[in-house]
């Protein structure tokens, strides 16, 4: 403030004189967060600075007040102002507000600007997105809030936050890293190998922040695993269908099969029926004490078209077949 009481509101808000309304509002939000009394408890200087920038914003956010301020300078309050509506002044009752965003939105509304909008904080993370309240959590007096108006100090609240991360089966199998943005802080998250859908990871002291106390909750991440075209996780076991040809299924064979991290050889016994299961021990899902089992369910995979030699052999098989595949089925089907 100058010696004659004149305040340069543009300097107070750290903007150029020709700054548009959006620039003024953005700078006010930034400074208000910096000097808000909840962020600077017991700091009289910060509170005075906060009231000064609030006064500056009240004038510069109102087109009529700003026009008179730019035209008449320190005498703007009495130059053409409506009767009874003199100069600037902001009387702030900080105890009315349970969190900073409530205060800002109310103040913007009182000054004629739109509430909410960009700059209110939040959480953005893994693809697919997920969100939770940040910075100043909860609402006044309700669950997750604090009753500052009654006692003048924050009350105990649940500051923990939750979010969801979607993983591919490969990421869940091998483990991976994700970078999240939590309350404007970049957090590196290590997903260990072998996590399962529905698991929760806890990041200590990465949740919401309670203003005025420095207390911060934990962040809990719920893990979801996307479906895979081949593999299905069933408890500690990994399952898949194993396609076999007619001769492999009938006569048995030694076949190469895929595993999640390579290949293996399995022996298919002769006469194994469709739906029977082969177990490969230690080839399945990562566990704390090793690997689970891999279960392969046998299925018949017939070609769309048979070659001429194949058709000839199939006709020979039909001619010499000695059993009726539907005999027991027909007997059991009679009511």
* pLDDT at residue 124 in the model: 35
Q: How far is CA 328 from the centre of its chain?
A: 56
Mean residue pLDDT across the chain = 77
Query: In degrees to the nearest 10, what's the CA dihedral of 299, 303, 307, 312?
Result: 40
Alpha helix positions (H), the chain: 9-12, 21-35, 44-60, 63-72, 100-110, 148-151, 169-174, 246-251, 308-320, 327-333
* CA–CA distance, 79 with 71 (Å, rounded to integer): 9
* pLDDT at residue 76 in the model: 66
| Pair 198, 246: CB distance under 8 Å | no
Element (H, E) at 216: none
* CA–CA distance, 300 with 293 (Å, rounded to integer): 23
| Pair 38, 100: CB distance under 8 Å | yes
Closest C-alpha to 207, from 165, 156, 166, 162: 162
Q: Residues, the chain, total?
A: 335
- Which residue segments constitute the domains of the chain, with CATH numbers given? 9-110 (1.10.287.110), 123-225 (2.60.260.20), 232-333 (2.60.260.20)
Structure tokens belonging to residue 205: 């002291």
Q: What percent of the chain has pLDDT over 90?
A: 38
* CA–CA distance, 171 with 127 (Å, rounded to integer): 13
Structure tokens belonging to residue 34: 């910096």
**Residue 183 pLDDT greater than 80, yes or no:** no
| Confidence label for 88 from pLDDT (cuts 50, 70 and 90) | very low
* CA–CA distance, 274 with 258 (Å, rounded to integer): 19
pTM for this model (two decimals): 0.51
> pLDDT digit string (tens) for 93-124?
544 445 555 555 555 555 444 433 333 333 33
> pLDDT digit string (tens) for 229-239?
999 999 889 99
| Confidence label for 148 from pLDDT (cuts 50, 70 and 90) | very low
Three-class SS state of 161: strand
Burial of 300 (0-12, 13-18, 19+ CB in 10 A): middle
Question: Average pLDDT for residues 82-102, to the nearest whole number?
Answer: 48
* CA–CA distance, 102 with 93 (Å, rounded to integer): 13
* CA–CA distance, 12 with 68 (Å, rounded to integer): 18
* pLDDT at residue 282 in the model: 92
Per mean pLDDT, which range of 69-78, 99-108, 157-166, 248-257 is the poorest? 99-108
| Confidence label for 82 from pLDDT (cuts 50, 70 and 90) | very low
């Amino acid at each position: 403030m100058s010696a004659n009481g004149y305040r340069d509101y543009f300097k107070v808000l750290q903007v150029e004189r020709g700054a548009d309304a959006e620039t003024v509002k953005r700078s006010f939000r930034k400074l208000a967060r910096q000097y808000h009394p909840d962020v600077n408890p017991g700091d009289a200087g910060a509170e005075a600075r906060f009231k000064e920038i609030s006064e500056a914003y009240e004038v510069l956010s109102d087109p009529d007040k700003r026009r008179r301020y730019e035209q008449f300078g320190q005498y703007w309050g009495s130059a053409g102002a409506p009767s009874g509506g003199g100069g600037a002044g902001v009387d702030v009752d900080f105890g009315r507000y349970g969190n900073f965003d409530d205060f800002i939105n109310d103040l913007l509304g009182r000054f004629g600007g739109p509430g909410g909008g960009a700059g209110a904080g939040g959480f953005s993370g893994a693809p697919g997105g997920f969100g939770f309240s940040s910075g100043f959590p909860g609402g006044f007096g309700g669950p997750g809030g604090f009753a500052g108006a009654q006692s003048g100090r924050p009350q105990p609240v649940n500051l923990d936050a939750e979010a969801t991360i979607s993983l591919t089966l490969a990421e869940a199998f091998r483990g991976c890293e994700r970078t999240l943005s939590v309350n404007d802080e970049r957090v590196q998250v290590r997903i260990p190998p072998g996590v399962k859908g529905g698991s929760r990871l806890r990041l200590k002291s990465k949740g919401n922040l309670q203003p005025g106390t420095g207390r911060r909750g934990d962040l809990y991440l719920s893990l979801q695993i996307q479906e895979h075209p081949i593999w299905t996780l069933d408890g500690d076991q990994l399952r898949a269908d194993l396609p076999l040809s007619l001769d492999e299924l009938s006569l048995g064979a030694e076949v190469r099969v895929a595993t999640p991290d390579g290949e293996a050889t399995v022996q298919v016994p002769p006469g194994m029926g469709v739906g029977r299961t082969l177990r490969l021990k230690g080839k399945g899902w990562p566990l704390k004490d090793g690997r689970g089992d891999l279960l392969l369910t046998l299925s018949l995979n017939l070609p769309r078209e048979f070659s001429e030699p194949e058709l000839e052999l199939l006709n020979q098989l039909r001619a010499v077949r000695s059993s009726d595949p539907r005999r027991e089925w027909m007997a059991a089907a009679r009511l």
